[in-house]
A and B are shown apart, each in its own frame.
Chain A
C-alpha cells in the first residue's frame, strides 16, 4: 500500500469513527431510563454495533501499513503524539468490548426489566466516551503529522 492509499483509507476510517461516536450516543440516550427496546431502538443497536465493529476492524487492518509508512516519522515528529496513538488503540478496544457487552442487555430483557436496560445504557455511554476520546486523540495525532 502506498502512503496516498493509506491516507485515503485513514480518512474514511476517521470519518466512520466520528459517525460511530455519534451513533453510540443514540442507544445510550434512548435506554438511559430503562425504556423497552422498540423496533427502532433495536435497529439503532444493530447498526451501531455493526458500525463500531467495522471501524475497529478497519483500524486493525490499517495498523500494519501505519507502522510501516508512518509510525517512525510520527515518533520523530512528536513522541507524545506517537504514544497517544497507542492510547487511541487501547481505548478503541475498550469501546468495542463495551459495545459488544451492551447488546444483549439491551435486547434480551423483557419490558419489566428496566434495570438491565439502564445498565446497558451505561455500557453504551461508556463505549461512547471511549469512542469520543479515540476520535479526539486521532485528530490530535493527525494534526501533529498529517499522513
Chain B
C-alpha cells in the first residue's frame, strides 16, 4: 500500500542520499584541488582517473549513510514534513552552487 509513513521516510531518505552524494562529491573535488592544486596540463595525461572513482564511491557511500541517518531520525510526521520543505527549497540553489564550485575547482 502506498503513502504509508514508512514510504514517506524511505522516499525522503532517498532524496537526502542523492543530494548528499552530490554535495560530498563536489566537496571532495574542492578538497582535492585545495590540497594538490590544479594539475599541470602537460602531466595530466598520466592521470589514471583513480581520483574520479574514489570520489564517486566516497560520495555514494556517504550519501547512503546520510540517507540511513535521515531514515532513522525522521520518526515523526512533523519532522518528515519539515525536512521535505527544507529540501524542496534548498535543492535548486544547491545545484547552482555545486555547478559554480565544479567550474572553479575543475
Q: Which residues of A contact B (CB under 8 A)?
A: 63-64, 67, 71-72, 75-76, 79, 82-84, 86-87, 89-91, 93-94, 97-105, 108-113, 115-116, 118-120, 122-123, 125-126, 129-130, 133
- Rounded to whole Å, the gap between the CB of A28 and the closest CB of chain B is 10
Q: Do B29 and A90 touch (CB < 8 A)?
A: yes
Q: Do B59 and A97 touch (CB < 8 A)?
A: yes
Kindly list the 10 A-B residue pairs having the minimum CB-CB distance in the complex, ordered from nearest: A101-B18, A110-B3, A126-B95, A83-B106, A122-B91, A75-B41, A90-B102, A104-B14, A105-B11, A97-B21
Residue of A nearest to B84 (CB): A115
A residues within 8 A CB of B22?
A: 93-94, 97-98
Q: Do B91 and A123 touch (CB < 8 A)?
A: yes
Interface bin, chain B: 35 or more
* CB-CB under 8 A for A108 and B7, given A98-B95, A126-B95: yes
